[in-house]
Amino acid sequence: MVGARGRLDVALIDLLLPDGDGTELVGDLRRANPSIKVIVLSENLWPRRVEELSRAGVDAVLDKVQSPRQIAREVRREGGGG
């Protein structure tokens, strides 16, 4: 996995990565940190896509248009901080 070292509690990722679909990153994150919570930012929240992400191991999917405050709140919630 590129860039992450040590144990992570929460990963906030975008699916649109320069080198491909971020869905593949979910598996890499899980293998490196089995207890990690993965939150995805996406602008494509069609029910079928959300279902695919859930099967891939994503814990939460957030719309990119949500406010930074809402996103931070979800990161804290998934990380066990409230």
Rounded Cα–Cα distance for residues 44 and 52 (Å): 12
Residues in the chain: 82
Pick the closest to residue 57 from 38, 76, 75, 43 (CA basis).
38
pTM over 0.85: no
In the predicted model, residues of the chain with pLDDT beneath 50 are: 1-3
10-78 homologous superfamily: Response regulator (3.40.50.2300)
Q: Please give the pLDDT value at position 80.
A: 84
Residue 43's SS3 state is coil
Q: Please give the pLDDT value at position 82.
A: 63
| Backbone φ and ψ of 19, nearest 5° | -110, 15
One-letter amino acid for residue 5 of the chain: R
